[in-house]
Structure 1
Amino acid sequence: MGFDDEWAQLRGQAAARQGTHTQLNGTGDGPSAGGPGGLGGGQDFASTPAEKKAAANTIETELEPNTKKATDWADETSKAAVGEFTEWDTGAGIKKVMETWDKQVKVLMGRLSTEKGALRGASGLFAGNDDLIKSQFSPLLKPQYGPYASGLDGL
């Protein structure tokens, strides 16, 4: 058996072992379908400016203050434990855990702040993009007033 024959045989065997295939039988029945574009619900990814504002307000009025409150409580309890175990290696371990905890809380608070700002800025960004796109098409739009409004180029 030559190289070409052996190569063809190996390729055929590999193709036969590959039992999974992707086949698109349809695109679903619209936005409420469970497939791409529908994702199981009508408007899962769409949100209004009011919904974005409400989510940002929830972050500001509930998540951030409650996270800070929980962090302060954990810090107080941990500091007390470090004080009780200063002579033991446990005290040093708790202190190390507190440092890690504080770093993680700082990252979380930063993330919450970023998400809040992104939610508040998204509506304005989308509106600005719409205005920019409209202005790019404005030379193609027929004027409402003036000599060219009739479409007869001033005639």
Structure 2
Amino acid sequence: MSFEEEWGRKQQGGSAVPGSGYGVLATAPPEKKKAANTIENVLQPGTTKAADAADEPTTTAVKAFSGWETATGLTKAHTHWDDQVKRLMGRLNSEKTALRGASNLFTGNDQLTGQSFQPVQSKVTGL
């Protein structure tokens, strides 16, 4: 994109990068916060609920098949299920933390950059 095209987009209130409303980096701290909140308020509770829903029926089935290899297989499968749920919850937690950290980092950097453009107070004013 030429300088003239980029400048024209800026003058019209658009982004210098086609399809992006946030500039060259195309970062969106509010969307990152929203995604982190979705993980915390929707995905994590839903995953916990789904994991817990399997506990009682599996325990009942293991008791019903006591003495059979089926009970052993169900126990192993349920242990594997619990392990996978723990891994998924850890991954969701990591992603949530990373999204919030990135959001805070970009916001902080934007604020510091904005402050660097503040007018400098002249030391000769009033002399």
Fold in common (TM above 0.5): yes
Secondary structure of 1:86's aligned partner: coil
- Partners of 1:145 and 1:132 lie apart in 2 by 18
Q: CA offsets, 1:94-114, max 9 Å, x none?
A: 100111111110000011111
Question: CA 1:78 to 1:145, structure 2 compared with 1: closer, same or farther past 3 Å?
Answer: same
Contact 2:65-2:71 within 8 A present in 1 as well: yes
Structure 1 equivalent of residue 121 of structure 2: 145
CA contact (8 A) 2:29 2:106 kept: no
Write out per-residue CA displacement over residues 91-138 of structure 1, whole angstroms, 9 at most, x where no aligned residue: 001100111111110000011111111111112112344567789xx6
How many residue pairs align between the two structures?
A: 107
Give RMSD over aligned pairs: 3.1
RCO comparison, higher one (Cα < 8 Å, 6+): 2
Q: Which moved more, 1:91-100 or 1:77-86?
A: 77-86
- The runs of 5 or more residues in structure 2 that have no matched partner are 1-16
Structure with the bigger percentage of helix: 2
Query: Which residues in structure 2 correspond to 1:70-89 (within 5 Å)?
Result: 70-89=50-69
Query: TM-score under structure 1 normalisation?
Result: 0.57
In structure 2, what is the equivalent of residue 93 of structure 1?
73
